[in-house]
């Protein structure tokens, strides 16, 4: 069965400090990996994705993520957090590369709070 785990429901960090939001996955084959962010009462915004190539992926708003195949992880990082980064973050996996299915499996989300 396909699954995505975000082990932390909450991550709290001071503004200016680095942040990490963890994600591990269990899927067959070589999946595509995604991070999305959701602000209150809004849809999800695409942040970044890993398809192939360099394991360090850079995305929107200064976020980056590192793909680690051996640990089946795709942690989201940012060197210096902003208060405006406070939101709900979702890791997602697409196990069906290029297929007509294309469905995503989501983690349960991690609430990031950055305090001033």
Partner 1 sequence: GAVVSQHPSWVICKSGTSVKIECRSLDFQATTMFWYRQFPKQSLMLMATSNEGSKATYEQGVEKDKFLINHASLTLSTLTVTSAHPEDSSFYICSARVEREASEADTQYFGPGTRLTVL
The residues of the shown chain that bind partner 1, judged by CB under 8 A, are 32, 34, 36, 41-46, 49, 51, 90, 94, 96-98, 100-104, 106-109, 111
- C-beta of 45 vs 80, nearer to partner 1: 45
Shortest approach of partner 1 to residue 36 CB, angstroms? 7
Nearest-approach distance from CB 43 to partner 1, in angstroms: 4
At 94, list the tokens.
Answer: 């697409």
CB 52, CB 63: distance < 8 Å: no
Q: CB of 84: closest distance to partner 1 in angstroms? A: 18
Q: Which two tokens stand for residue 56?
A: 């360090």
Distance (Å, whole) CA 75 – CA 112:
14
Cα–Cα distance measured from residue 81 to residue 20, given in angstroms and rounded to the nearest whole number: 10
């Amino acid at each position: 069965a396909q699954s995505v785990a975000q082990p932390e429901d909450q991550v709290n960090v001071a503004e200016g400090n680095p942040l990490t939001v963890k994600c591990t996955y269990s899927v067959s084959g070589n999946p595509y990996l995604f991070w999305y962010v959701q602000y209150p009462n809004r849809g999800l915004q695409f942040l970044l994705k890993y398809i192939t190539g360099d394991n360090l992926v850079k995305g929107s708003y200064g976020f980056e993520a590192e793909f680690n195949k051996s640990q089946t992880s795709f942690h989201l990082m940012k060197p210096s957090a902003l208060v405006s980064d406070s939101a709900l973050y979702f890791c997602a996996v697409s196990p069906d590369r290029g297929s007509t299915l294309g469905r995503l499996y989501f983690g349960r989300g991690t609430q990031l709070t950055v305090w001033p």
